[in-house]
Amino acid sequence: MMDLNLKGKTAFITGGSDGIGKATAMILASEDCKVAICARGIEKLENTQKEILEKTGNKVEIFPTDVRKESEVTETIKKVFSIFGSINILINNAGTSHANSFENTVNEIWEEDFSLKIYGAIYTSRAIIPQMKKEKEGVIINLTTPGGKAFSANKIPTSVSRSAGIALTKSMSKELASYNIRVNTVCVGLIKSGQHKTRWENSRNNGSDISLDEFYKNMSADIPMGRVGEAEEVGSLIAFLCSDKVKYITGASINIDGGTSPVV
């Protein structure tokens, strides 16, 4: 517990049933912050709810929601307001990464990337910001990757959508600063995740005898710190940015990537 003085605040986290979203929910709950999480799958949500309750003693509220659909987002936010009365912290975490060349990226992939990573953040923000304005207080954290600032070949969809996420953050931060609403981006590098574990399991099914530790070690070859990060490390940064300890930071895009990105 970091004692970030978040007790009594309410946080809403998209993509909160696994990985970074789950780790962030765990940390905020341990700070006695009231937490609501959403994701598409109810089973993972229920498992996460149970785990957080066991480890922190605090219950998080769960909402099966597809953030690509504005009607579902609007309905979920209404339910969160009815339970907690307000939402002080919004963490737009939902999203996956598509690596592909420009010519091989079909419309469906473009639409999936933008509907989940950009429109999802727009829908949640649109539903919550009016209340934050009334209360003259709020924190919004949008998660992207350093690839939104340092572009790579054959990673077109995620580079473009993540760059758009950073631009969205910067523009919103300027519009909302006078209302004491801070908007920042956390640019996440390689982090241990369920997606990576699935890739490792698939490689094992295809005859590989590499261990999970070796799999991550190979992934870290180009990371200056020599390792793949942990979801909890990202969660700790997000929780810190949600606190009043850094209430003069807004419009920032902060890398957490073990030093990989060539840009600040």
What was the pLDDT predicted at 1? 58
| % of the chain exceeding 90 in pLDDT | 88
Q: Are 13 and 38 in contact (CB under 8 A)?
A: yes
Q: Which CATH architecture has domain 10-191+230-256?
A: 3-Layer(aba) Sandwich (3.40)
Chain mean pLDDT for the chain: 95
pTM of the model: 0.95
Inform me whether the pLDDT recorded for 191 exceeds 90. yes
**Lowest mean pLDDT: which of 23-27, 55-59, 156-160, 225-229?**
156-160
Mean pLDDT for 86-106 is 91
What was the pLDDT predicted at 2? 65
Mean pLDDT for 187-194 is 94
Cα dihedral 126, 127, 130, 133 sign:
negative
Tens of pLDDT, residues 200-217: 999 999 999 999 999 999
Q: How far apart are CA 232 and CA 63, in angstroms?
A: 22
| % of the chain exceeding 70 in pLDDT | 99
Mean pLDDT for 226-246 is 98
What are the residue ranges spanned by the domains of the chain? 10-191+230-256, 192-228
Question: Residue 238: which pLDDT band, with cuts at 50, 70 and 90?
Answer: very high
What was the pLDDT predicted at 3? 84
Q: Which residues of 173-192 are buried (b: 16+ CB within 10 A; e: fewer)?
A: beebeeeebbbbbbbbbbbb
Tens of pLDDT, residues 168-186: 999 999 999 999 999 999 9
- Selected residue with higher pLDDT from 10 and 150: 10
**How many Cα atoms sit within 13 Å of 2 on the Cβ side?**
21
What was the pLDDT predicted at 195? 84
Tens of pLDDT, residues 10-54: 999 999 999 999 999 999 999 999 999 999 999 999 999 999 999
